[in-house]
Structure 1
Amino acid sequence: MRCQSEWVGKDKMNGANEKTSFKVGGYIFALGMVMAALFLRWLVDPIFGNQLPFWTFWLAIGVVVWRTGLGPALVATVLGLVVGAYFFVAPRNALTLFGTFNLAIFGAYVTVSATLCALGVVMRSAQRRSELQYRKILAQKESMEHEAREREQSETLLRIVLDTLPVGVWILNAQGLIVGGNPAGREIWGGAKYVGVEGFGEYKGWWTDTGKQIEPQEWSAARAITKGETSLNEEIEIEAFDGTRKIILNAAVPLRDSKGGITGAILLNQDITGRKRSETGLARQNYRIALLHEAAAHLLSSEGQLEDIAGLYQRVADFSQADAFFEYATDASGQNLDLQLAGGISEESRERLRHLAFAQCICHAMPEQRRAVLVCNIQESDDPAVQVVKSLGIRAYSCHPLQAGDRLLGTLAFASRQRDAFGPEDQDFFQTVARYVAVARERARLMAELRRHTEQLEELVAERTARLHTIVETAADGIITIDEYGTIETVNPAAERIFGYTTREMVGQNVKMLMPEPDHGKHDDYLAHYRETGERRIIGHGREVEGKRKDGSIFPLDLAVSESWIGARRFFTGLLRDISQRKETEKRLRDATEELEQFSYSIIHDMRAPLRAMVGFGNILNEEHTSHLDEEGRDYLRRIITSAQRMDHLILDALSYSKVLREGLPLDTIDAGTLLQEMVESYPQFQPPRTEIDMAKEFPRVTANYAGLTQCFSNLLNNAIKFGKPHQTPRVRIWAEKQEEFVRFWFEDNGIGIAPEHQHRIFGMYQRLNAESEGTGIGLALVRKVVERMNGTVGVESKLGEGSRFWVELPIAENDEQRNPSIQARDGSHQTAKVQRMTPAPQVGVILND
Structure 2
Amino acid sequence: MRNVLLPFTFSLKIFLNICVNISLETTRMFEAIFYRARESYLLINADRRILDANRAACRFLNTSREELIGMSADSFFSDAAMSALCSSAALIDSWTPAFDGRLAREDRNIDLRAIQLHPKSGARVFAIEMSQETSQRAIFRELRHELNKAIETARREKRTVRDLAFTNRKLDAFAHRVAHDIRGPLRNIRMAIELVGDISTIEDEELRSRLDLLEIAGSSAASLERLTVGLLSYSQNTSRAVTKEETDLKIVVEGAAHSLDLTDHDSWLSVNSLPVVMADETLLEVVFQNLLSNAVKFASADRPLSVSIETSGVGDHAEIYIRDNGIGFSPDARERIFELFSREHADREGAGIGLATCAELIAQHGWSIEANSAPDEGAEFKIIIPWDDVIKLR
TM-score, L = length of structure 2: 0.51
Q: Distance in 1 between matches of 2:368 and 2:223?
A: 29
The one-letter code of the counterpart of 2:332 is: E
Change (3 A) 1:705 1:815: closer
Q: 2:256 aligns with which of 679, 684, 704?
A: 679
- Deviation track 1:206-232 (CA, whole Å, cap 9, x = no partner) reads xxxxxxxxxxxxxxxxxxxxxxxxxxx
The one-letter code of the counterpart of 2:260 is: Y
Change (3 A) 1:646 1:753: same
- Deviation track 1:768-794 (CA, whole Å, cap 9, x = no partner) reads 222322222222122111100111100
Partner of 2:310: 735
Q: Distance in 1 between matches of 2:390 and 2:336?
A: 34
Q: Distance in 2 between matches of 1:669 and 1:761?
A: 32
- Deviation track 1:484-525 (CA, whole Å, cap 9, x = no partner) reads xx9569xxxxxxxxxxxxxx749x99xxxxxxxxxxxxxxxx
Change (3 A) 1:671 1:741: farther
Change (3 A) 1:805 1:635: same
The one-letter code of the counterpart of 2:269 is: I
The one-letter code of the counterpart of 2:227 is: L
- Equivalent pairs counted in the alignment come to 255
Q: Distance in 2 between matches of 1:747 and 1:641?
A: 36
Q: Which has the higher contact order (CA 8 A, sep 6+)?
A: 2
Change (3 A) 1:648 1:505: farther
- Deviation track 1:53-99 (CA, whole Å, cap 9, x = no partner) reads xxxxxxxxxxxxxxxxxxxxxxxxxxxxxxxxxxxxxxxxxxxxxxx
Change (3 A) 1:640 1:720: same
Q: Distance in 2 between matches of 1:714 and 1:652?
A: 16
TM superposition shift of 1:657: 3.5
Q: 2:271 aligns with which of 695, 713, 717?
A: 695
Q: Distance in 1 between matches of 2:88 and 2:332?
A: 48
TM superposition shift of 1:662: 4.2
Give unmatched runs, 5+ long, in structure 2: 1-85, 90-95, 101-140
Q: 1:643 aligns with which of 212, 220, 235?
A: 220
CA contact (8 A) 2:257 2:289 kept: no
Q: Distance in 2 between matches of 1:659 and 1:596?
A: 20
Does the alignment pair 1:782 with 2:357? yes
The one-letter code of the counterpart of 1:702 is: V
Change (3 A) 1:682 1:781: closer
Q: Distance in 1 between matches of 2:142 and 2:240?
A: 33
- Deviation track 1:657-702 (CA, whole Å, cap 9, x = no partner) reads 34455443222222211121123234322x5526711111x32112
Provide the secondary structure at the position in 2 that maps to 1:805. strand
Provide the secondary structure at the position in 1 that maps to 2:144. coil
Change (3 A) 1:681 1:782: closer
Does the alignment pair 1:581 with 2:154? yes
Q: Distance in 2 between matches of 1:656 and 1:555?
A: 42
Q: 2:372 aligns with which of 784, 797, 818?
A: 797
CA contact (8 A) 1:733 1:747 kept: yes
The one-letter code of the counterpart of 2:245 is: D
CA contact (8 A) 1:670 1:705 kept: yes
Provide the secondary structure at the position in 1 that maps to 2:338. coil
- Deviation track 1:710-739 (CA, whole Å, cap 9, x = no partner) reads 121111112212222223221101112234
Provide the secondary structure at the position in 2 that maps to 1:809. strand
Q: 2:144 aligns with which of 525, 528, 551?
A: 551
The one-letter code of the counterpart of 1:799 is: A
Give unmatched runs, 5+ long, in structure 1: 1-485, 490-503, 510-547, 557-577, 817-850
**5 Å matches for 1:171-570?**
487=87, 505=97, 551-552=144-145
- Deviation track 1:96-140 (CA, whole Å, cap 9, x = no partner) reads xxxxxxxxxxxxxxxxxxxxxxxxxxxxxxxxxxxxxxxxxxxxx
Change (3 A) 1:683 1:555: farther
The one-letter code of the counterpart of 1:750 is: N
- Deviation track 1:234-274 (CA, whole Å, cap 9, x = no partner) reads xxxxxxxxxxxxxxxxxxxxxxxxxxxxxxxxxxxxxxxxx
Change (3 A) 1:582 1:682: same
Change (3 A) 1:639 1:581: same
Change (3 A) 1:581 1:736: same
CA contact (8 A) 2:265 2:305 kept: no
Q: 1:746 aligns with which of 311, 321, 329?
A: 321
Q: Distance in 2 between matches of 1:604 and 1:652?
A: 13
CA contact (8 A) 1:604 1:654 kept: no
Q: Distance in 1 between matches of 2:310 and 2:226?
A: 31
Change (3 A) 1:700 1:721: same
Q: Distance in 2 between matches of 1:765 and 1:732?
A: 24
Provide the secondary structure at the position in 2 that maps to 1:551. helix
CA contact (8 A) 1:746 1:808 kept: yes
Change (3 A) 1:773 1:741: same
Partner of 1:715: 290
Provide the secondary structure at the position in 1 that maps to 2:327. coil
The one-letter code of the counterpart of 2:270 is: D
Change (3 A) 1:814 1:754: closer
CA contact (8 A) 2:317 2:386 kept: yes
Q: Distance in 1 between matches of 2:232 and 2:246?
A: 27
CA contact (8 A) 2:367 2:384 kept: yes
Q: Distance in 1 between matches of 2:372 and 2:168?
A: 35
Q: Distance in 1 between matches of 2:245 and 2:316?
A: 16
TM-score, L = length of structure 1: 0.25
- Larger CA Rg, structure 1 vs 2: 1
The one-letter code of the counterpart of 2:308 is: R
CA contact (8 A) 2:324 2:380 kept: yes
Change (3 A) 1:746 1:815: closer
Partner of 2:63: none
